[in-house]
Structure 1
Amino acid sequence: MLVEWYKRSFADPDAVTLFLLLLGGFLLIYFYGDLLAPGLAALVIAYLLEWPVVRLMRLGCSRSLAASLISILFIGLMLLLLVGILPTMFRQGINLAKEAPIMLANATEYLKRLPESYPDLVDVTLVESLISTLQARLLKTGELLVSASLSSLVNVAMVLVYAILVPLLVFFMLKDKQLLLATVSRFLPLNRALITLVWGEMNEQIVNYIRGKVIHILVVSLVNYVVFALMGINYALLLGVGVGLSVLIPYVGAVVITVPVVVVGLFQWGWSADFAYLMLAYLVVQGLDANLLVPLLFSEAMNLHPIAIILAVLIFGGLWGFWGVFFAIPLATLVKAVVNAWPRHGNLPAQQD
């Protein structure tokens, strides 16, 4: 049975070439992903900036001039973000960390009163176990934050190197795109019909996905920040950006980020009308995001079943961390494209669905 499957699946040399290329890419990223992180970051940014570069070229600019202008604009926006937004988020994060013990104490007192208010529903031992678990988790989180701060201080030089290296890589990827593609194609085998077929489908989807994901994060962050600021909740900028970044993890991220929003709202207002209005506005924004913005930006990705998306996040996130989560949907789409294009019974590649 295995021999017959092998003959059917690998009778086409193009299929063997595609398989070896995918296997080599997987092993390279799996074993040397940390070393390739600056290159991957630069590649993502280059995909993002390719669209404005092409628009400038259509207006008559050369690729070198367009790449230079867009790179300068991108660096300027990053510096503006670094100077204007990150310090505020940092201060709000410090203040939230200082108030975390007070929030925990209030939650502990509330939990201790539950057995007295509802003796038939809440057990004292269960409440004590829950309180000890919360305290242990908070202590562990504090230790992780301290260790992360110390490690970040040690890696300041590496961060500075990346801050210089990544923009340079982005500029040269934009400027010499055709030369780089021609150079890479020289090292590919001649039997690459399947590679060309899959690449043609995936290239456009990756471009649309990266651009859509960045727009998604910016829009969700801005809308939630405006809503939180109008509602008067503390740490509006920090929570708004957190909700925006949560869209990196489909389905799960929205659930996780809801916890700090609820905790901060309860600590500030308690069970009041203001808290109810906050949660109502938050749920409305989440509903508009899920039912309007996501289908508009990711119509191609919506062809994947939610189970496939969740499995992709779990598998690729477990293999490659942040980059695996970020590219979970494109990688799932790649698997689907390879399955659709793979020769069946030694015939030509199957037609796309």
Structure 2
Amino acid sequence: MQFTTTQKHVAAWTGIAALAVLVLWLLGPVLTPFAVAGVFAYALTPLVDRLDAMGNGRMPRVLAVLIVELVFLLAVLALMLLVVPVLVKEIPLLRQQLPVLLDHTQSTLGPWLAQFGIHVNLDLSTVREQLKTYLNENWSDSFASLWSSFKIGGSFAMALVGNAMLIPVALFYLLMDWKNVVARVLELVPPRARRAVDAFTGEADEVLGQYLRGQLLVMVTMAVFYSVGLALFGLDLALPIGVFTGLAMFVPYVGFGIGLVLALLAGLLEFASIKALVMVGVVYGAGQVFESLYLTPRMVGERIGLHPLAVIFALLAFGQLLGFVGVLVALPASAVLLVAIRRVRAGYLASALYKG
């Protein structure tokens, strides 16, 4: 059976793509910091170029890169420091309120559970004695489990610290050489396909720019929403928790989850009543519905041409395949895939195969 030149090219490129996907899957943990740095470099390169242009060539590019990266790292640090006032206030309250919360839970749930033959005692002294007895009787098993958890947690912590140090370094070099990196990749494109590839990358770049602007609007809007919502319930730490939750949403689900836990903890310690659960349920429930079903599909999905269901599917699919990195790059990657699908569809509709 003879294959045409076109069929051979298609088979070769399919094999290359399959091999690239396999390598990415196998090296996923190693590539994580570089992938994250690449996403940030793509977003920050226009700022570096603009700052470089403002200097009319008198400002070295390395200085422009240092300024942009320093501002970016300070912004990330400021976002993380929003959690500090929460912890500073809540840790002492936790020590004071924990016995009160346990007593309140005991007096509320105890009689109700007793009706079903379940007797629960949440007295601190009793809990402490039971824990001591359990550890004495199961010391070896507990120590082995604790040591195993420490090794796992230590490995994770070391990986986290290593990535935190590697990402800024990779980001610096990518910002310095972004144009050269892109140019070297495009050099691999055959000359006869260069015009089509340039048109594709230009359209993809425009779509990704719209995505970044839309995502920024979503983050600011949700920061205001959560801050106002928590403040209406009278939470003292409404502003830092609300702002953190909104701005941390650049990583879908993760930022929302951390903000929800912080709000629940702060509400339980401040109100010590069912009001905390109602507050979190109303504010974060309404916020998740508003953001997932309306705000992100409208401000992000419509800007890049993705249907609301496609946005939700992209987040779930990329998260399942690539974990944290998948969630981070889900919508940008979907935008690029959408451009490719549009071009394939247009080519098919214009082909003799479709026209019959």
- TM more than 0.5: yes
Give the superposition deviation at 1:213. 3.0
Q: Write the letter of the residue equivalent to 2:23.
A: L
* Post-superposition offset of 1:322: 1.0
Once the 2 structures are TM-superposed, how far is the Cα of residue 180 of structure 1 from its aligned partner? Answer: 1.2
TM-score norm. by structure 2 comes to: 0.64
Q: Distance in 2 between matches of 1:26 and 1:175?
A: 27
Q: Residue 66 of structure 1 is aligned with which of 58, 64, 67?
A: 64
CA RMSD of aligned residues (A): 5.0
Say whether the 8 Å CA contact 1:317–1:328 is kept in structure 2. yes
Distance 1:39 1:215, change over 3 A: farther
Correspondent of 1:203 among 178, 202, 205: 205
Measured against aligned partners, the alpha-carbon deviations of 1:165-194 in whole angstroms (never above 9, x if no partner) come to 322322222222221112222334556466
Aligned to 1:325: 327
For residues 18 and 197 of structure 1, what CA distance do their matches in structure 2 show? 20
Distance 1:292 1:316, change over 3 A: closer
CA distance in 2, matches of 1:349, 1:93: 67
Residue equivalent to 2:29 = 34
Alignment of 1:122-161 (within 5 A): 124=116, 151=152, 153-154=154-155, 158-161=159-162
Matched, 1:340 2:342: yes
Query: Which letter does structure 2 place at the counterpart of 1:55?
Result: R
Task: For 1:319 and 1:48, locate their aligned partners in 2 and report how far apart those are by CA, in whole Å.
Answer: 23
Identify the residue that residue 75 of structure 1 maps to in structure 2. Answer: 73
Distance 1:100 1:239 in 2: 24
Q: Partner of 1:179 in structure 2?
A: 180
Between 1 and 2, higher relative CO (CA 8 Å, sep ≥ 6) is seen in 1
Report matched runs for 1:265-284 at 5 Å.
265=267, 268=271, 270=273
CA distance in 1, matches of 2:91, 2:146: 11
SS in 1 for 2:30: coil
Q: Structure 1 residues 60, 246: CA separation in 2 closer, same or farther (over 3 Å shift)? A: closer
Q: How has the CA–CA distance of structure 1 residues 81 and 285 changed in structure 2, closer, same or farther, with 3 Å as cutoff?
A: closer
TM-score by length of 1: 0.64
Deviation at 1:42, TM superposition (A): 0.9
1:165 and 1:315 map into 2 onto residues whose CA distance is 27
Structure 1 residues 276 and 76 mapped into 2: Cα distance closer, same or farther (>3 Å)? closer
Worse overlay, 196-205 or 234-243 = 234-243
Partner of 2:45: 50
- Structure 1 residues 56 and 35: alpha-carbon distance in aligned structure 2, compared to 1, 3 A threshold: same
- Conserved 8 A contact 1:47-1:210: no
Gaps of 5+ in 1: 129-143
Question: For residues 299 and 336 of structure 2, what CA distance do their matches in structure 1 show?
Answer: 21
| Identical counterparts, % of pairs | 21
- Does residue 309 (structure 1) correspond to residue 307 (structure 2)? The answer is no
Highest CA radius of gyration, 1 or 2?
Answer: 2
Task: Give the partner amino acid of 1:347.
Answer: S
CA displacement at 1:337 relative to structure 2: 3.1
Counterparts of residues 225-244 of structure 1 (less than 5 Å)? 225=227, 227-229=229-231, 231-233=233-235, 236=238, 237-238=240-241, 241-242=244-245, 244=247
Q: Cα–Cα, structure 1 residues 253 and 67, in superposed 2: closer, same or farther, change >3 Å?
A: closer
> Once the 2 structures are TM-superposed, how far is the Cα of residue 349 of structure 1 from its aligned partner?
12
